Amino acid sequence: MSLRYALLGLLAEQPASGYDLTQRFEQQLATIWPAKHPQIYGELSRLADAGSIEIDSEGPRGRKVYRITDAGRAEMRRWLTEEPVDHTMRIEPILRSLFYWLMEPDDLERHLEREAAYYREQAEVFKQVAAAKDRGDYGDAPHVKSMRITVEAGIRLYEALADWAEWAETASSGRSCEMPRVDAGEPFASRTDELLKGFGTD
């Protein structure tokens, strides 16, 4: 469902063709919300059927440029303000970490080094973009400001993952496994306790 609104949102910036949008997903959104052309073209057809977007113009090679309609803009705003946020997160490398105990120490160390390097590089890419935006390279249109916020999320997320992978390296290498103590602070009531139960081994 989210892709539908991603397309609607991008078309709220400016008209674009399926090809244009595919490029943008490949180049800018690959790490945020990957999408390939078959899904994009399909979703565009459905958005057009629903009247949320319409053909703006047609070009060579069957190129079809879409633009958002008033109904589409309204639908987008409805989604943003009324539709509950989906906090689902599936990060395979984190799932993998549950099973680190099954790996040979050498394999694990190699794995964690690569992971840290990957995350660090991604963070660096986002930082470069942020710096460019802060320099004003992209102007100060409203959607550029929003993108600056999105990019900040990328920086912080990948930085956090890189730090985590590096921490895990030292945490795993010392076989006497000295974990830095976490300060638990005030124990929580109700909700947290509920979420907590069953977090044991069995």
Partner DNA sequence: ACCCAACATGTAAGTAGTGACATGTCGAAC
Partner DNA sequence: GTTCGACATGTCACTACTTACATGTTGGGT
One-letter amino acid identity for 176?
S
41 binds a copy of itself (CB under 8 A): no
Gyration radius (Cα) of the chain, Å: 22
In the complex with a copy of itself, the residue whose CB is nearer, 62 or 185, is 185
Which of 38, 181, 189, 190 touches a copy of itself (CB under 8 A)? 181
* Chain residues 72-101 in contact with a copy of itself, contact rule CB under 8 A: 73, 76-77, 80-81, 85-101
Residue among 76, 56, 52, 58 at smallest CA distance from 66: 56
Q: Strands, E, within 20-178: which ranges?
A: 53-58, 64-68
Number of continuous H segments (helices) and E segments (strands) in the chain: 8, 3
User: Residue-wise over 107-140: b if at least 16 C-beta within 10 A, else e?
Assistant: ebeebbeebbeebbebbeebbebbeebeeeeeee
* Chain residues 146-175 in contact with a copy of itself, contact rule CB under 8 A: 146-150, 152-157, 159-161, 163-164, 167-168, 171-172
38 binds DNA (CB under 7 A): yes
**Binding partner of residue 59 among a copy of itself, DNA, none, CB cut-off 5 to 8 Å per kind:** DNA
Taking the complex as a whole, the smallest distance from the CB of residue 3 to a copy of itself amounts, in Å, to 9
In the complex with DNA, the residue whose CB is nearer, 16 or 123, is 16
143 binds a copy of itself (CB under 8 A): yes
**Binding partner of residue 145 among DNA, a copy of itself, none, CB cut-off 5 to 8 Å per kind:** a copy of itself
**Binding partner of residue 45 among a copy of itself, DNA, none, CB cut-off 5 to 8 Å per kind:** DNA
CA distance 188 to 185: 9
Q: Taking a C-beta distance cutoff of 8 angstroms, is the pair 62, 31 a contact?
A: no
* Chain residues 49-108 in contact with DNA, contact rule CB under 7 A: 59-64, 88, 90
34 binds DNA (CB under 7 A): yes
171 binds DNA (CB under 7 A): no
Query: Sign of dihedral through CA atoms 33, 145, 24, 57?
Result: positive
53 binds a copy of itself (CB under 8 A): no
Q: Taking a C-beta distance cutoff of 8 angstroms, is the pair 179, 171 a contact?
A: yes
Residues that bind DNA (CB under 7 A): 1-4, 17-20, 22, 34-39, 41-42, 44-45, 59-64, 88, 90
